[in-house]
């Protein structure tokens, strides 16, 4: 009697949690893109939009990628100082 093996379960991609800072105008683009997707009867999470953007950037040549980055306004990096309560 032959033994039937279950196919091995697909391995889930390892997820990485990260935080970053962006200008309010760029953050507002996330809401705008989500709104546009409503017209296409598709919802998306912020992470999906960011991942789709990364996939689109990955298709660019190095020259076009550099040009896209050059169009961004510079952002001060790092975390803002913690606010302390005054007694």
Is 66 within the bounds of a domain? yes
Residue 4 belongs to what H/E stretch?
none
Instruction: Kindly state whether residue 40 falls inside one of the protein's structural domains.
Output: yes
pTM over 0.75: no
61, part of any domain:
yes
Helix (H, G, I), strand (E, B) or coil at 10: coil
The H-assigned helical ranges of the chain are: 24-39, 46-58, 62-70
Overall number of domains in the chain: 1
The two three-digit tokens of residue 79, written as one number: 């975390």
In a domain, residue 79? The reply is no
User: Which pLDDT does position 86 carry in this prediction?
Assistant: 63
Residue 10 is predicted with a pLDDT of 79
Computed over every residue of the chain, the mean pLDDT equals 89
Residue 1 forms part of a structural domain:
no
Mean pLDDT of 14-18: 91
| pLDDT per position as a tens digit, 63-72 | 999 999 999 9
Model confidence at 30: pLDDT above 90: yes
Q: Is a pLDDT exceeding 60 seen at residue 87?
A: no
Residue ranges making up the domain that contains 50: 24-70
């Amino acid at each position: 009697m032959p033994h039937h093996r279950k196919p091995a379960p697909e391995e889930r991609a390892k997820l990485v949690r990260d935080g970053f800072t962006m200008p309010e105008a760029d953050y507002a683009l996330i809401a705008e893109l989500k709104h546009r997707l409503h017209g296409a009867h598709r919802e998306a999470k912020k992470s999906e939009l960011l991942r789709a953007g990364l996939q689109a950037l990955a298709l660019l040549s190095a020259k076009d990628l550099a040009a896209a980055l050059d169009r961004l306004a510079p952002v001060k990096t790092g975390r803002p100082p913690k606010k302390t309560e005054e007694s």
